[in-house]
């Protein structure tokens, strides 16, 4: 007879990285939430958490749930990572504390506010152009075109070669998953894409007045080494493009799918900020992240061992009925803050002021010019091991 009180672990055979799961994750999220506080995924030999409280608790306990073994499925202590680890994302204190302090300063809401006019002007121009077209692809023509212009401009990298940014992001975000077909396909063009990215991370490649050069100024003040500054520019180029592309694309999808919510937004443009938070809650562009346990830990009576991978389902936490009223209803008037899409705790999104700025610029411009969106064709998903979003979104707009 057993003398401890540890419960039997809930088990699931689901593959969270299968096409079937990625195409429509929501019923699987519900099953994982209902299976228990923490669930063993047999296929991968890892844990997962899908409830709001548990995801939040894990994200705020970095001592137990570390990032330095990688925030993807691969355990950096057991197999070599596909690229040198990020010194902010894939790091724990004290290294993380030092690198994070630099980016927190450069990306603070006040520092990012100086970009507002430029971002608004670019958004107005792009929105005017697509609205004139009447029919366009919400992904290529808007959700990709906008961040691919304003973000590299803000970082201060040259115009040429920017077509490498999305393939690199595909490598980064598919690279957090297992070595499945999505992983292999993303990595097929790895060589030249990585070389281009790395060539843009040096002091010599950066404009004097951009966010990238501000990182190098932290070398001059003794906070970082020259090599570390280059690695943090790489972090900008890794994290700053696809995330906002998928976020803006999901926003357009939500408003094409729920036209009455667009009407509410047009009548109350002051809701734009909250509406984007609701998009992030409802169709989270970043679905999942991993942590690795640094010690044995008990979660609701289930014992997790040391050195075990834990898949945190941000997107499932965002629709946990324990936390949200009518979680499957898209409602721009809701208080959606508290969603897990930006994470929380010491690794909470450091770039969220830029993400919000981009969304406010685009949604603000659209509320002025678009009376309604219609689907002009079937949206096609772009499956990714970490991100949720679309490959194409054929839209027709009724001008305001
Ligand atoms: C990320 C989910 C990096 C890096 C940092 C953050 C992300 C990706 C890469 C943003 C993940 O430092 O390279 S949302």
Q: Which domains does the chain have, with CATH numbers?
A: 3-399 (1.10.630.10)
**Probe residue for ligand 1, chosen from 73, 76, 89 as the CB with the greatest number of ligand atoms within 8 Å:** 89
Residues 6 or more apart whose Cβ sits within 8 Å of residue 79 = none
Sign of CA pseudo-dihedral 234, 240, 243, 246? negative
Q: Is 239 in the pocket of ligand 1 (CB under 6 A)?
A: yes
110: which 2 tokens? 């006040």
For the Cβ of 280 lying below 6 angstroms from any atom of ligand 1, the answer is no
Q: How many CB atoms lie within 10 A of CB 133?
A: 12
Determine the atom of ligand 1 nearest the C-alpha atom of 88.
12
Q: What share of the chain is helix, strand, coil (3-state, %, to 5)?
A: 50, 10, 40
pLDDT at position 359: 98
Residues in the chain: 400
Global confidence as pTM: 0.97
- The CB of 88 under 6 Å from ligand 1? The reply is yes
Q: Which atom of ligand 1 is nearest to the CA of 90?
A: 12
Output the six-digit token pair for 223: 């906070």
Is the CB–ligand 1 distance for residue 286 below 6 Å?
yes
Dist. CA 158–CA 174, nearest whole Å: 26
The predicted structure's pLDDT at residue 189: 83
Distance 135 CA to ligand 1 centre (A): 33
CA distance 36 to 292: 19
Tell which atom from ligand 1 comes closest to the C-alpha of 234.
Answer: 13
Check residue 6 and give its pLDDT: 78
pLDDT at 7: 83
pLDDT by residue for the chain (400 residues), tens digit each?
A: 545 677 899 999 999 999 999 999 999 999 999 999 999 999 999 999 999 999 999 999 999 999 999 999 999 999 999 999 999 999 999 999 999 999 999 999 999 999 999 999 999 999 999 999 999 999 999 999 999 999 999 999 999 999 999 999 999 999 999 999 999 999 998 999 999 999 999 999 999 999 999 999 999 999 999 999 999 999 999 999 999 999 999 999 999 999 999 999 999 999 999 999 999 999 999 999 999 999 999 999 999 999 999 999 999 999 999 999 999 999 999 999 999 999 999 999 999 999 999 999 999 999 999 999 999 999 999 999 999 999 999 999 999 9
Q: Which residues contact 48 (CB under 8 A, 6 or more apart)?
A: 12, 16, 32, 38, 39, 41, 310, 311, 312, 313
| pLDDT the model gives residue 2 | 47
Helix (H) or strand (E) holding 235: helix 226-239
Could you give the angle at the alpha carbon of 276 between the alpha carbons of 274 and 279, nearest 5°? Answer: 115
Q: Is residue 235 within 6 Å of ligand 1 at its C-beta?
A: yes
Strand partners, 323: none
State whether residue 126 is helix, strand or coil. Answer: helix
Residue 19 Cα to chain centre, angstroms: 19
Other residues' Cβ atoms within 10 Å of the Cβ of residue 322? 11
Ligand 1 pocket check for 89: Cβ under 6 Å: yes
Please report the pLDDT score of residue 4 as a whole number. 62
Question: Which protein residue's CA is at the shortest distance from atom 10 of ligand 1?
Answer: 239
What per-residue confidence (pLDDT) applies to 3?
54
CA of 71 to the centre of ligand 1 (A): 9
Distance CA 376, CA 54 (A): 40
């Amino acid at each position: 007879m057993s003398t401890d009180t540890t419960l039997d672990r809930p088990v699931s055979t689901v593959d969270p990285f299968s096409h079937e799961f990625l195409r429509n994750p929501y019923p699987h999220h519900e099953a994982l939430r209902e299976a228990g506080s923490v669930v063993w995924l047999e296929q991968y030999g890892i844990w997962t958490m899908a409830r709001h409280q548990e995801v939040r608790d894990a994200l705020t306990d970095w001592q137990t749930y570390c990032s330095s073994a990688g925030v993807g499925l691969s355990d950096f202590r057991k197999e070599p990572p596909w690229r040198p680890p990020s010194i902010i994302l894939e790091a724990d204190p004290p290294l993380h504390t030092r690198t994070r302090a630099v980016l927190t300063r450069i990306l603070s809401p006040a520092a990012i506010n100086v970009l507002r006019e430029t971002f608004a002007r670019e958004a107005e121009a792009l929105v005017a152009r697509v609205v004139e077209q009447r029919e366009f692809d919400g992904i290529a023509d808007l959700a990709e075109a906008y961040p691919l212009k304003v973000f590299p401009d803000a970082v201060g990298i040259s115009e040429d070669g920017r077509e490498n940014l999305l393939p690199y992001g595909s490598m980064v975000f598919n690279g957090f998953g297992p070595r499945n077909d999505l992983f292999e396909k993303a990595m097929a063009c790895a060589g030249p894409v990585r070389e281009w990215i790395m060539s843009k991370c040096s002091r010599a490649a950066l404009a004097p007045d951009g966010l990238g050069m501000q990182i190098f100024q932290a070398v001059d003040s003794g906070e970082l080494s020259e090599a570390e500054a280059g690695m943090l520019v790489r972090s900008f180029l890794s994290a700053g493009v696809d995330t906002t592309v998928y976020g803006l694309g999901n926003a357009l999808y939500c408003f094409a799918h729920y036209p009455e919510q667009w009407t509410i937004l047009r009548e109350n443009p002051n809701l734009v900020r909250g509406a984007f938070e609701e998009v992030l809650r409802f169709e989270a562009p970043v679905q999942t992240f991993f942590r690795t346990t640094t010690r044995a830990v008990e979660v609701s009576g289930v014992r997790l061992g040391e050195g075990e991978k834990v898949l945190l389902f941000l997107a499932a936490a965002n629709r946990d009925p324990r936390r949200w009223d009518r979680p499957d209803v898209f409602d721009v008037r809701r208080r959606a803050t508290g969603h897990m899409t930006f994470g929380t705790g010491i690794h909470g999104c450091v770039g969220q002021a830029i993400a919000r700025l981009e969304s406010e610029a685009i949604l603000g411009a659209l509320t002025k010019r678009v009376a309604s969106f219609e689907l002009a064709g079937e949206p096609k998903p772009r499956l990714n091991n970490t991100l949720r979003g679309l490959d194409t979104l054929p839209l027709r707009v009724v001008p305001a």
